[in-house]
Structure 1
Amino acid sequence: MKTFRKIFLSLLAVTASFALPLHAADPLYKNDFESAEVGKVPSDMMVMAGAFEVKQDKDGKYLELPGEPLDTFGLLFGPAVKDDVSASARFFGTKKGRKMPAFGVSLNGAGGYRLQVSAAKGKLEFFKGVEAEATSGVPYTWASDTWTNLRITVRKDGDKWVIEGRAWAVGSPEPEKPLITLEEKNAPSNGKAGIWGSPFSGTPIKFDDLLVTPLK
């Protein structure tokens, strides 16, 4: 019986291997903060604004932005890229009464495209630049005290550029299709990925599992 079980598991492993991508792209950047020093920001990150620091709890290490002051803060990471790339991270925030945080992930530098959960608006939005107005938005229900994944993709499609955004709760499958899409005729800038947080609820925002991946 044990021999049969071993054969079955071996066949299952072989079958699963054929289901995997044959040429999965290696990440351009990856950071889960497990090797980072607590109380500091990793040296390969460029803080634009905000008192970010690595912290640790029973589940491991993560990057945290304090709950005050109430403004928008961010940092850049990874190589400078232009298009045919995605950036992702996961975020943890908490609401306080009717006050809720906003957080996002970006590509193409500080002035590039940012995918943002604006929890108080109940929207998933695109921003262009740090202080720019939202260019588009779709309804999105955010859950407090849970981890949320965000992924932004910038890809060239003929003579235009398509920016796509996905958001999903940790533990749920990533949406196959983007939840929000934006098309631009002007080429994006060459720049680093970034994470952003606005602790409007007065509570800290956590960041983890930063990733930059080429599309091809």
Structure 2
Amino acid sequence: TGEISEDKLLWKLPKRTVSRSCPVKMGDRIYFIDDGAVLFGVNAKTGEIEVKDKKVGRSMFGSPVVSEDKIYVANNSGQVQTLRHSDKGIEVIAQTRLNDQSEIFGSFAVSNGRMFLPTNKALYCIGVKGAKVESDPLPKPPAEPAITDRTVAHIQLCPVELMLVAGQKTPEMQVRAYNAAGQYLKLLKDATITVEGGGEIGEGPTYTAPKEVGTGTATTLTAKWGELSSVVKARIFSSFPWKFDFEDKKIPLQWIGSAYRHQPSEVPDGGNGLVKISTIPRGTRSQGFIGQPSMHDYTIQGEFYALDTKNKVPTTKLPDMGLNAQRYTLVLEGSQQLKIRTWLSHDYRFLKSIPFEWNAKTWYVLKFRVENSGDKTVLKGKVWKRGDAEPEAWSIEGTDDMPNKSGSPGLFGNATDAEFYIDNIEVKGN
């Protein structure tokens, strides 16, 4: 499980917050840098602090890197330091600051005699011109054990997962045989393959997806050889436009990351939709994808309704709810902000934000358009109350100079503070 019980711990240091930066080990000492950019060294065997707090910046996101018996540290504010480790402690032997006011959220990478440092503005390559690169030879891979067991214990239908458009035919599929140790034995030419949900199995064997799939579907392929079987899911998509009203009280089969976190439900003002539930501890903030990662240049729209209760208890907090398009997110946040951002874990790579007042127990329409324009991507979002006329002007706009050129449409939500409803999701090509 990855969890270590208290009785198995060699040592433990309380009241230290090291949540972003990974430690490094030199000799018998482990060096940590906490979130406040304070470095300290700990005896790896005893847990005794041998190097007391040494400030190396104001905040730390990246990790220290060891190369040629030195430790290289780059803090968030752009300061770079080279440290020397010894039995007596640690000393700074060189330091500088990047002069472009950049922020550093990554770590040094060492390769072929050079050091690479990513910032929010550039990728730096540092090295000595004309330096001779030396490296240790790659170790030989472990010898593959001889196959002594020829009994087929497991079969695998390949590809192991399919994503197709309506009417698309796969390349030749294979049924592979393995023994109980997981060693590959042979291809099984006499296995049978059947399909449930539509489409046809042809010579080869190949699979051809059904031509008529509405807004999309999923089918199941099963290979059988004697008593053994292998199952593959095929997600099948149609061309735009799509519309999902959830009146059948089902999550579309071709969607991923959406079931369980969203439940079919009656929605306020009648009809059926989805509710983003708050009763799962690790799924209250999540994304779900409803298309293919190769999709681009489209507009997605949906209707959202936030509750003012959590587990039926009144709350003044609001959820975050929004739409994904081409690896960007348009999100209406409970903090009364409307944002377009990229990376969910840290939205500073690309972020546009404006104040936007909104209320619980009111239906809102969110509309998000992405368009590739040369070497940039143009992003536009708007929000209005359902029942009102759609405004002509976009509520928020942005242009990404380092664009994501493709990505699946989808849903985003954070129901930690309150649940919300979703209805009438539409996707159209621009």
TM surpasses 0.5: yes
User: 1:129 corresponds to which letter in structure 2?
Assistant: W
Instruction: Render the CA deviation track for 1:182-211: whole Å, top value 9, x for unaligned.
Output: 10123324221111111132x321111111
Equivalence for 1:99: 317
Deviations 1:107-165 (A, max 9, x none): 12xxx10000012x211011213323261211111121011111111112343211011
**Distance across 1 between alignment mates of 2:289 and 2:317:** 26
Could you say what the CA RMSD is over the residues aligned between the two structures, in angstroms? Answer: 2.2
Aligned residues: 182
Q: Tell whether the 8 Å contact from 2:377 to 2:405 is kept in structure 1 after alignment.
A: no
**Partner letter of residue 31 of structure 1?**
F
The answer to whether the Cα contact below 8 Å between 1:64 and 1:204 also exists between their aligned partners in 2 is yes
Q: Structure 1 pair 126/89, CA: closer, same or farther in 2 (3 Å)?
A: same
Identical columns (%): 21
Matches within 5 A, 1:1-216: 27-37=240-250, 41-47=251-257, 51-56=261-266, 59-69=270-280, 71-95=284-308, 96-108=314-326, 112-119=327-334, 121-133=335-347, 135-201=351-417, 203-215=418-430
Greater CA drift, 170-179 or 75-84? 75-84
Gaps of 5+ in 1: 1-25
Q: TM-score, normalised by structure 2?
A: 0.39
Q: 2:367–2:383: 8 Å Cα contact kept in structure 1?
A: yes
What is the letter of the counterpart of residue 395 of structure 2?
A: L
Q: Give the aligned residue type for 1:208.
A: D
Larger Rg: 2
Cα distance between partner residues in 2 of 1:207 and 1:152: 15
Distance 2:249 2:254 in 1: 11
Q: 1:59 to 1:27 in 2, by over 3 A?
A: farther
Secondary structure of 1:78 counterpart: coil
In structure 2, relative to structure 1, the CA distance for the partners of 1:27 and 1:47 (3 Å cut) is same
Letter of the structure 2 residue corresponding to residue 194 of structure 1: G
Q: Distance in 2 between matches of 1:182 and 1:197?
A: 21
Distance across 2 between alignment mates of 1:193 and 1:100: 24
Structure 2 unaligned runs (5+)?
Answer: 1-238, 309-313
Letter in 2 for 1:92: Y
| Partners of 1:115 and 1:152 within 8 A in 2 | yes
CA distance in 2, matches of 1:50, 1:189: 30
TM-score by length of 1: 0.75
- 1:29–1:79 Cα contact (<8 Å) kept: no
CA distance in 2, matches of 1:186, 1:132: 16
Within 1, Cα distance between the matches of 2:293 and 2:389? 29
Higher helix share: 1
Seen in structure 2, the aligned counterparts of structure 1 residues 63 and 97 have a Cα distance that, compared at 3 Å, is closer
Q: Which residue identity lines up with residue 385 of structure 2 in the other structure?
A: A
Distance 1:93 1:204 in 2: 6
In 1: Cα distance, 2:296 partner to 2:253 partner: 25
